[in-house]
């Protein structure tokens, strides 16, 4: 399993980038949003990745943030949503906008993505509403959207990889961030979030 690639951005296309890691060029599928944020060709680049294995191919998909990768995993878990459709959705909507759309049941916003019709948008909203409920509305946010960033996003990703549900991981990390304050390290956030999640 390849979790991330760190190297030099060799080239980009409409839906992919090539990252040169030690002389090996990795072709990585990516959303338009990720492609626009990874920097200029020839410069250092780092992408979080997801490996897709099928009977006839092995492909890598890359993301500018762990948060975007987590959303890709959630989206491709919905029946009828393949990697191309998930990337189209992530090209059209930032993770925070996607959270807001699902929390409010706004299938029209999800349907703005290429290849997503009203029925599929409805299914995405219905199936993901319960899974992301705890991520969407943070305590005391007055209904706003709380999207972990930086070390917080990485800590949520770490808990997800340990098998916690998105709602549990997000709530535990938010609580840990509140207790530790801004500038907390990833290590301290994960340790405290694990203690809180285990209660």
Tokens of 151: 């070390």
Residue 132 confidence (pLDDT): 67
pLDDT at res. 75:
92
Taking 70 as the pLDDT cut, the residues of the chain under it are 132-150, 199
Burial 162-186 (b: 16+ CB within 10 A, else e): eebbbebbbbbbbbbbeebeeebee
pLDDT tens-digit map of 70-121: 899 989 989 889 999 999 999 998 888 888 888 888 888 899 888 899 899 9
- Give the pLDDT of residue 199: 66
Q: How high is the pLDDT of residue 138?
A: 38
């Amino acid at each position: 399993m390849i979790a991330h690639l760190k190297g030099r951005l060799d080239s980009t296309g409409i839906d992919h980038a090539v990252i040169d890691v030690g002389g090996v060029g990795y072709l990585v599928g990516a959303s338009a949003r990720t492609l626009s944020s990874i920097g200029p060709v020839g410069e250092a680049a780092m992408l979080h990745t997801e490996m897709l294995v099928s009977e006839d191919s092995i492909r890598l998909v890359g993301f500018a943030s762990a948060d975007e990768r987590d959303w890709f995993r959630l989206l491709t878990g919905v029946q009828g949503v393949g990697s191309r459709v998930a990337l189209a959705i992530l090209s059209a909507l930032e993770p925070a906008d996607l959270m807001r759309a699902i929390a409010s049941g706004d299938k029209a916003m999800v349907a703005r993505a290429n290849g997503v019709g009203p029925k599929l948008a409805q299914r995405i909203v219905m199936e993901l509403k319960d899974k992301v409920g705890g991520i969407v509305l943070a305590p005391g946010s007055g209904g706003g959207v709380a999207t972990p960033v930086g070390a917080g996003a990485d800590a949520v990703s770490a808990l997800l990889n340990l098998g916690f549900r998105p709602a549990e991981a997000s709530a535990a990390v938010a609580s840990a961030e509140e207790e530790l304050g801004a500038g907390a390290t990833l290590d301290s956030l994960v340790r405290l979030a694990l203690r809180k999640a285990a209660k």
